[in-house]
């Protein structure tokens, strides 16, 4: 079963997606550009209602194939998509949620991508976008077709990110409180949505999400990496939370579990000081 406008089951698309920084000279066909633009045009509002929009950009290539504004990280890409969002309390979560939907749609129609939240020059991209005074560009991604081989820079990024090394369930998911780990067999119909969150991409693969399954709800918390905020111009770990929310919602929509997002901080006690509550998914299905 597919999730809405996606061309394949979302679990298959999530497992297929990989970051790629080295691209072939093959341009994105007009048909696929139009598919992508139509998908973007039909995106629902994000969970927190932030004003986000997305724009395709065709940057200038240097003779080396390096793309201006990416500090040499991206090579050969002819087209990018930029995420633009207006300042609001949950703007980063919302843009992460929507941008990941776009990334997964690109994967589903056979395009390669790479989340970029730090390794691009925002001012150079902003020159090609008319920004309102309250707007910013938190993320961009190349879209296109991977080259036959990764460049040396791409290989170094790929290996250092350690994206294949995901944290185990015992680090990420909890049952009723942070004092009790959640076993997959106890998650019932939510096992696959939890697993899709575990497979989500995140900045430097820090996987900052922590989820608690409670009675009729799943609570999302952010466990920050110390010193991470000061390293980057954007709050990338809040973007990561939006990505996790996207994976969870798309996966749960392929089950018979009905629900939606609510900001309703649970009455749980003994929440560690380093846990920041973000949102809850409230569901009505009998999870057995």
| Predicted pLDDT of residue 36 | 98
Q: Are 241 and 93 in contact (CB under 8 A)?
A: yes
Say how far apart CA 207 and CA 51 lie, in whole Å.
26
Q: What is the pLDDT along the chain (288 residues), one digit of tens a residue?
A: 555 689 999 999 999 999 998 999 999 999 999 999 999 999 999 999 999 999 999 876 554 455 655 656 788 888 999 999 999 999 999 999 999 999 999 999 999 999 998 767 787 788 888 898 899 999 999 999 999 876 666 565 555 555 568 999 999 999 999 999 999 999 999 999 999 999 999 998 999 999 999 989 999 999 998 877 666 677 999 999 999 999 999 999 999 888 999 998 666 767 899 999 999 999 985 544
Locate all alpha helices (DSSP H) within the chain, ordered by sequence. Answer: 10-16, 30-41, 91-108, 122-126, 152-161, 169-172, 191-198, 228-231, 236-252
Q: Are 10 and 250 in contact (CB under 8 A)?
A: yes
Q: What share of the chain is helix, strand, coil (3-state, %, to 5)?
A: 35, 25, 45
Is pTM beyond 0.95? Reply is no
197 DSSP 8-state letter = H
CA distance readout (Å), 95 to 61, 92, 288: 27, 5, 33
Torsion sign (Cα): 283, 236, 83, 277:
positive
Say how far apart CA 51 and CA 161 lie, in whole Å.
30
Domains and CATH numbers, the chain: 10-161 (3.40.109.10), 169-283 (3.40.109.30)
Instruction: Map residue 37 onto helix, strand or coil.
Output: helix
152 DSSP 8-state letter = H
The CA-to-CA distance between both ends of the chain, in Å, stands at 20
């Amino acid at each position: 079963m597919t999730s809405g406008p996606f061309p394949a089951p979302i679990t298959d698309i999530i497992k297929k997606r990989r970051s790629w920084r080295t691209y072939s000279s093959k341009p994105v066909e007009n048909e696929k550009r139009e598919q992508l633009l139509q998908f973007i045009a039909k995106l629902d509002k994000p969970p927190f209602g932030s004003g986000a929009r997305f724009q395709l950009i065709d940057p200038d290539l240097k003779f080396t194939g390096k793309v201006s504004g990416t500090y040499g990280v991206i090579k050969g890409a002819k087209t990018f998509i930029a995420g633009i969002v207006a300042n609001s309390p949950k703007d980063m979560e919302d843009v992460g949620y929507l941008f990941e939907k776009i990334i997964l749609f690109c994967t589903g129609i056979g395009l390669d991508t790479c989340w970029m939240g730090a390794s691009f020059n925002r001012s150079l991209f902003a020159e090609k976008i008319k920004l309102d005074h309250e707007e910013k560009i938190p993320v961009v991604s190349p879209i296109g077709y991977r080259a036959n081989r990764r460049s040396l820079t791409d290989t170094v990024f790929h290996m250092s990110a350690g994206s294949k090394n995901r944290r185990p369930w015992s680090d990420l998911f909890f049952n009723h409180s942070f004092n009790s780990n959640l076993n997959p067999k106890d998650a019932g119909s939510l096992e696959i949505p939890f697993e899709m969150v575990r497979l989500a991409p995140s900045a430097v693969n820090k996987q900052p999400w922590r989820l608690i399954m409670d009675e009729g709800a799943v609570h999302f918390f952010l466990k920050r990496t110390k010193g991470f905020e000061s390293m980057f111009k954007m709050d990338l770990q809040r973007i990561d939370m939006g990505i996790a929310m996207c994976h969870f919602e798309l996966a749960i929509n392929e089950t018979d579990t009905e629900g939606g997002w609510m900001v309703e901080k649970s009455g749980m006690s003994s929440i560690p000081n380093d846990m920041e509550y973000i949102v809850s998914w409230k569901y009505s299905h009998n999870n057995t």
